[in-house]
Structure 1
Amino acid sequence: MKKQHISLILGAMALGVEAMAQERPNVIYVFPDQYRNYAMEFWAQPDFAGQLNSASDPVHTPNINRFARESVVLSSAQSNCPLSSPHRGSLLTGMYPNRSGVPLNCNSSRPISSLRKDATCWSDVMSQAGYDCAYIGKLHTDFPTKNSPQHPGDYVETQRPVWDAYTEPQNRHGFNYWYSYGTFDEHKNPHYWDTEGNRHEPHEWSPTYEAKKAIEYIQNKNGQRDGSKPFFLMVGMNPPHSPYRTLNDCMEEDYNLYRDVPIDKLLVRKNANRDMAKAESARYYFASVTGVDRAFGMILDALKEAGLDENTVVVFSSDHGETMCSQNTDDPKNSPYTESMNVPFIIRYGSRLKPHVDNLLLSSPDIMPTMLGMAGLHDKIPAEIQGVDYSPLFYQPDSESVKRPDAALYIQNMDGNKDAQGNVVDYFPSARGIKTHQYTMAVYIDRNNNRDHVLLFDDKADPYQLNNIADTKEGKAAIKKLYKRMGELLTEIDDPWISRGIYKRVAKQLK
């Protein structure tokens, strides 16, 4: 009887623990690559009209439209270092590139750029808090090494430098379910390594396939997760990242929506140069956007069918934007232009969040602590992070428990010195800048750490950033204030511009 009584007590305790675990929300974070904030159809619809101060893209995104109406939508989320790897490093660690270990896009010529193994990542915290953690899709935060599971002693690809990478189990930072790769840009010929290191080549457009894998995980179809735990699922889709040139890059059904639309009806932003050779890519880019929307919708539908949508925090975001012929640049990213820095950030948490649009200047390192806050894990946020938990503002936009940011940093790094083998041994902090609700400023330096040039845009008066006002009387007065505030923020994060004396040196040259 005693044993039976003890067993009943232990069983009741176990059920109680399980019930408490299930009270915590599931978290799903979906982030396609190179997806700009303007590429969402709802911005042009009546109930969202006027929330952006410039034209949005004429894209078809019915699932994101529906999701936005159930969510808090940020109009001014910023990718501070708008490149895949640096943003992802900040996303996972809550730190800026100088601390995350990822100041540059990761490849085999840049051993200095790789996610810190000793960092306590978002997924580490979730795992330690009792979550089942899954990662599906593109990661791109690892320095590629000769660790191919299929070909021991070799890289996972033959091109040099190597970009793709296999993440070994000890470097997965708490993710117990794995179906991922480093970076690989054949959208209809993707590959993945699973939890055990087996390689899979599905020969299917990657967002669709990744959505199917996410659905299997949500449904726990094959026992992929511990059903007694809440789950944390990240899905890193590659499209609408380049290439976007042919039907090898997107689904034909999506391309057909844009095939016969004149380019001037697609590239509607006033700063877009429709005569650039890249202009035709707009059809394929927008087709990829629509395909990502459909894949995201598949995940949302599966979540609802499983009865989990009310107790799941779902986010749709991206790691950086895409200029797509704006500003006469072929570089889709790595710039302070709004098309590059401004990314989607849409968050839904059942009936707990009242749908609205907010102009919160959310920065990349803020996402990790904010999402931990959304999961009720405020007290688990690592002390070393540099981001801020803004979760109270999603519940109460007027909350005074956390101060709203007045600015977001812009960071651009380039390869620094190289060794005899051509490997990058440090990085060059080529530009620093600041984004406020009115201005965008970026200050560039040469290799001798002297001022090279300055960009300054009044985003309210000039939303397409057509006029650089850095040398005007108004501009010089604004630069003085903006540069001071930028210095304060750079000091807070111990940026190289501060530690190497670049900030003070350039300050003298700006007078």
Structure 2
Amino acid sequence: MIKSQVLLFLSLGLTAVTGRSAKPNFIFIITDDQDLHLNSIDYQPSVQKHFAQEGTWFKKHFCTVALCCPSRVSLLTGKAAHNTNVTDVSAPYGGYPRFIEEGFNDHYLPVWLQEAGYNTYYTGKLMNGHSITTYDAPRARGWNGSDFLIDPGTYVFYNSTMTRNHDPYKNLPGEYSTDLVANAAVGFLEEAIAASDRPFFIGVAPIAPHSETVTNPRPAKFNPPVPAKRHEHLFQNVTIPRTPNFNPDKPGTASYFKTLRQLNQSEIDYNDDWYRKRLQSLQSVDELIGSIVARLEANPEVLENTYLIYTTDNGFHISQHRLPPGKSCGIEEDVNIPFFIRGPGIAKGAVQTVPSSHTDIVPTLFHLAGIPLREDFDGEPIPVTEELLARNEKSEHVNIEFWGNYLVEGNTFFGQSSLLNNTYKTVRVVGEEYDLAYTVWCTNEHELYDMTNDPYQLENLYNTNSTAINGWPIDKITSRLNALLLTLKRCKGRVCTRPWEKLHPGGDVKSLGDAMEGRYDVFYLEKQHQVTFEECALGQVLSSEGALEPVIWQEEWDAWSLAT
């Protein structure tokens, strides 16, 4: 008991002696479409100084949907997209109106934090479809203060549309979007610090490095991001990293990836320019970080009791696998994203490879704030502290899903034929002895990648039985991954974090490695349902998604293994 009390006292940063709230504060910075694998964070000295050096980088953090709105809703609710039913950026399957229709305006992070005694603030982009016609129908609940970017001006860097608190919206021509968000964030931080008897949460959501999206007049145009004028001169000789999957000689092996032609030099030049503009636009985000940290440093007792998080909603690709600028794919560039955290009890300068996802973020904040976890969370706390790491309880998988079309941004190299259905389900499994990516497309094509030996996803191992991973035949691995993906596709609550418990109620299987025992071969290879699709739908249509539940292991079925 004494030891636990000491640990609790230390984890709160000794704030009790200051007279301030004992609960920790949170500042949550989320960019828009920021890559990890194209090295964008290498060009952000503030991220390196204030997050990489002062906190922990979770290198295997994933979004659960590689698309803005469904990703943000999953993050804010702690629920997988198949449970939020917000699966797109606009009607009928997504957007702010869908968020309202599904009842989440009363059941998401800021509402829960207010119920726990927090003051809550937000500035920047909340989600797609939060617009001049919807922002007050109804207003987003749960915020003591807000300054939202809203459509159609959300993605117009020098002509934003914003609404502060409950005031009518304003157009702000000539003012740079990220600077407006930075000023609002520091202002809310001043207000939060002044209310010293209450802990605070501040969400900060600049749009960089998202494309500049002009929706009026139609059709919408997706242009490169626009940097602040003071940053336009930077990185003139920088180009997209020429990784092995950059415009490769061979096309992909599944869905529309098979049809993509190689980019020509003018298209590569165009993409390089787009990449530079992304890096330039992130410099104002870096300045935003510096402003927030500088204000916190003026009140050291507040800084010592504040967790700062830096992440993005989804990743981005430019030229990888012959793709034009865009997101939404299951490739690593789109789903494996930056996630940094610093604060009380967080190791400095550390790198962790424990897999985590956006559905884990709200449970993590709850844990750090001492709020009991909700049973309907589909995620679990990320082991951000030594205490959580020592428990070694975090699951080894991440469930990734997508419904709808692949959207090309920028100069559409491939015409309308590139707007093909992109519906798929993916599971990433990261263990001590394996790192795997398994995908089933709505065309019922499959992909399997050994991410340890093929991090650029160039060799699809599905149906290549001459190959083995970790000494396991490919067909045996895919049979287990199929069952895992099938269990996750409609999971709720604990099943999402402990899917092997559902497949093996006896509790003797807790990981992919456990499931690879030979006694289970017949169960997985012959008796289990397969992940399949009846058609490529644009949203979550259960009648299109084949089997919805797996076969459950029965102990008496050991006779199968004895008979083989």
Alignment TM-score, normalising by the size of structure 2: 0.69
CA deviations on 1:161-199 (whole Å, 9 max, x unpaired) are xxxx4255x542311211103442111221210112332
Identity fraction in percent:
19
Say whether 1:442 aligns with 2:439: yes
* Selected match of 2:396 from 388, 406, 412: 406
Per the alignment, in what secondary structure is the counterpart of residue 443 of structure 1?
Answer: strand
User: In 2 relative to 1, CA 335–20 (structure 1 residues): closer, same or farther, beyond 3 Å?
Assistant: farther
- Cα offsets for 1:437-492 (capped at 9, x unmatched): 2111211114xxxx2x2222211111111222223113444322211221222343
Which amino acid in structure 2 is aligned with residue 389 of structure 1? P
1:212-249 Cα deviation digits (max 9, x unpaired): 111111122xx897443111100111110113998971
| Contact 1:167/1:181 (<8 A) preserved | no
Q: Does 1:126 align with 2:113?
A: yes
* Residue aligning to 1:296: 289
SS at match of 1:37: coil
1:114 aligned counterpart, secondary structure: helix
Matches within 5 A, 1:74-473: 74-107=58-91, 113-115=98-100, 116-118=102-104, 119-140=106-127, 142=129, 148=132, 155=133, 165-168=134-137, 171-183=139-151, 184-202=154-172, 203-220=174-191, 226-243=195-212, 249-261=226-238, 263=239, 266-273=240-247, 275=265, 276=267, 277-307=270-300, 308-330=302-324, 332-350=326-344, 353-377=347-371, 379=372, 381-391=373-383, 393-396=384-387, 398-400=389-391, 403-414=393-404, 430-437=423-430, 438-446=435-443, 451=444, 453-473=445-465
Native 8 Å contact 2:64 2:71 kept in 1? yes
Residues 238, 373 of structure 1: alpha-carbon distance in 2 compared, 3 angstrom cutoff: same
Structure 1 residues 313 and 268, CA, compared in 2 at 3 Å: closer, same or farther?
same
Structure 1: distance between partners of 2:490 and 2:92: 31
**What is the letter of the counterpart of residue 269 of structure 1?**
T
- Contact 2:64 2:81 (8 Å CA) reproduced: no
One-letter amino acid of the counterpart of residue 215, structure 1: V
Contact 2:29 2:310 in 1 (8 A): yes
Deviation at 1:87, TM superposition (A): 0.8
For the residues of structure 2 that align with 1:243 and 1:232, how far apart are their CA atoms? 28
Cα distance in 2, alignment partners of residues 286 and 389 from structure 1: 31
Instruction: Specify the code of the residue in structure 2 equivalent to 1:502.
Output: E
SS at match of 1:234: strand
Paired residue secondary structure (1:89): helix
What code does the residue aligned with 2:23 have?
A: R
Aligned pair 1:502/2:535, yes or no?
A: no
Task: Provide the C-alpha distance between the structure 2 equivalents of 1:193 and 1:108, rounded to a whole number of angstroms.
Answer: 25
Q: Structure 1 residues 172, 310: closer, same or farther in 2, change over 3 A?
A: same
CA shift at 1:109, angstroms?
8.1
5 Å matches for 1:56-71? 56=39, 59-67=42-50, 68-71=52-55
Distance 1:497 1:232, change over 3 A: farther
Relative to structure 1, the CA distance from residue 246 to residue 85 in structure 2 (aligned partners, 3 Å threshold; closer, same or farther) is closer
State the Cα distance separating 1:330 from its structure 2 match: 2.2
Aligned to 1:48: none
The residue type equivalent to 1:204 in the other structure is E
Compared CA separation, residues 356 and 205, structure 1 to 2 (3 A): same
Relative to structure 1, the CA distance from residue 500 to residue 246 in structure 2 (aligned partners, 3 Å threshold; closer, same or farther) is closer
Describe the shift of the 1:385–1:398 C-alpha distance in structure 2 as closer, same or farther (beyond 3 A): closer
1:72 pairs, out of 56, 72, 76, with 56
Distance 2:377 2:205 in 1: 22
How far did residue 143 of structure 1 move?
A: 6.7
1:344 shift after superposition: 0.8
CA distance in 1: counterparts of 2:35 and 2:225, whole angstroms: 22
Aligned-pair CA distance for 1:316: 0.2
How many Å separate the matches in 1 of 2:99 and 2:549?
29
Given that 1:139 and 1:181 are in contact with CA atoms closer than 8 Å, whether structure 2 keeps it comes out as yes
Aligned equivalents of 2:41 and 2:395: distance in 1?
31
Partners of 1:177 and 1:34 in 2: CA distance = 25
> 1: CA distance between counterparts of 2:487 and 2:349?
34
SS of the residue aligned with 2:271?
helix
Distance 1:134 1:369 in 2: 19
What is the distance in 2 between the residues matched to 1:319 and 1:167? 24
Separation in 2, partners of 1:193, 1:460: 46
Question: What CA deviation, in whole Å up to 9, does each residue of 1:35-58 have, x standing for no partner?
Answer: 11235xxxxxxxxxxxxxxxx458
Distance in 2 separating the partners of 1:252 and 1:360: 39
* Structure 2, gaps ≥5 residues long: 1-14, 214-221, 248-262, 406-420, 468-473, 497-530, 534-541, 552-564
Q: Which amino acid aligns with 1:285?
A: R
Alpha-carbon RMSD? 3.3
Query: TM-score with structure 1 length normalisation?
Result: 0.76
In the alignment, the residues of structure 1 paired with residue 18 and residue 109 of structure 2 have an alpha-carbon distance, to the nearest angstrom, of 23
Which residue in 1 is equivalent to 2:504?
none
Deviation at 1:107, TM superposition (A): 4.7
Moved more, 304-313 or 340-349: 304-313
Alpha-carbon spacing, 1:226–1:271, altered in 2? closer, same or farther (3 Å): same
Alpha-carbon distance, 1:269 to partner: 2.5
- Count of aligned positions: 432
